[in-house]
Structure 1
Amino acid sequence: MKLSARTRYAARLLLDLAQHGNSENPVTTTTLSEVSGISVQFIEQILKPLKKAGLVSSVRGATGGHMLTRSPEEISIGDVIRIMEGGVELTHCCQDDIAKECPRTERCLTRVVWLRASRALEKELDSISLKDLIDGVVTLSE
């Protein structure tokens, strides 16, 4: 699985909002762009699915901007990937609806490997919250 730039940037933007935004001080798109190095236009594209999924809300007006709708403890990296990529599966055949259409599903000897790896990856990504990243508790040696 190779993550898109949109997904990687979505995680960065959510982390910026977790650190700096709240209902009293929403973060403007311009500020997000300056802090992240991501263009305003791309940020707006990235925020659409995050808003639709209920992770981000926006306030209009002179003091408006964007903020998280849930606490950083409640948002996992797995959530971000599912929203931006549509899932965590390593292959298309790991998705039940597609597997039903595949004529090889019943006799495929490798599908179990892709399923196990996808589930392990999803479990790991779900175990890491935005707060964990902000607090620096996630390390490579875990």
Structure 2
Amino acid sequence: MKMSTKGQYALEIVVDLALHSSPGSLESLNHIAKRRHLSEKYLERIVRALKQHGILESVRGAYGGYCLAKPPEELSVKEVLNAVEGELAPVQCLTCKSDCGISCDLCPTRETWGNMWETITDAVGNIMISDILTREKELEL
């Protein structure tokens, strides 16, 4: 399974905000884009989805910007990715009706796909944004 740039950039945005903002000190999307070398225009769409899912908060105006809606210790990678990618299922038939021509009850590979999905979901559900911050600080040393 390959993650789209939306998922990659969403994680970049959240980590950047965890490092550079707080409810009392908001960060602009322009600064995030420059620090991470990403397109500000593209980030606007991603930020909208993150706000809709309660991951980010924003304030409009001259002193406005963005911050995380909850502490990095309480925010998982899974929440971030699901906000912009939807379910992380490796095949469509695990989340909705599929027209592959094989009955789900008779599909020899469905259980394998389901096991993969469970493994992926468990892994990203157990990685918190604070874990990424710890790793980033280790790399700076």
State TM-score, norm by structure 1. 0.89
Residue 92 of structure 2 corresponds to residue 92 of structure 1: yes
Question: How far apart, CA to CA, are the structure 1 residues paired with 2:24 and 2:123?
Answer: 33
1:132: which partner in 2? 131
1:79: which partner in 2? 79
1:41: which partner in 2? 41
RMSD of the alignment, in Å? 1.8
CA contact (8 A) 1:90 1:117 kept: yes
1:140: which partner in 2? none
Q: How much has 1:98 moved relative to structure 2? A: 2.0
**What do residues 77-101 of structure 1 show as CA deviations (whole Å, max 9, x unaligned)?**
1112211111111101111x32699
CA contact (8 A) 2:55 2:80 kept: no
Three-state SS of the structure 1 residue aligned to 2:66 is strand
Question: How far apart, CA to CA, are the structure 2 residues paired with 1:100 and 1:52?
Answer: 31
Unaligned regions of 5+ residues in structure 1, if any?
Answer: 138-142
Question: How far apart, CA to CA, are the structure 2 residues paired with 1:45 and 1:118?
Answer: 26
Three-state SS of the structure 2 residue aligned to 1:66 is strand
State TM-score, norm by structure 2. 0.90
**What is the percent sequence identity of the aligned residues?**
27
What number of residue pairs does the alignment pair up?
Answer: 136
The letter for the 2-side match of 1:85 is: E
CA contact (8 A) 2:53 2:83 kept: yes
Question: How far apart, CA to CA, are the structure 2 residues paired with 1:103 and 1:111?
Answer: 10
1:56: which partner in 2? 56
Three-state SS of the structure 2 residue aligned to 1:61 is coil
Unaligned regions of 5+ residues in structure 2, if any?
Answer: 137-141
CA contact (8 A) 1:6 1:46 kept: yes
The letter for the 2-side match of 1:2 is: K
CA contact (8 A) 1:93 1:102 kept: no
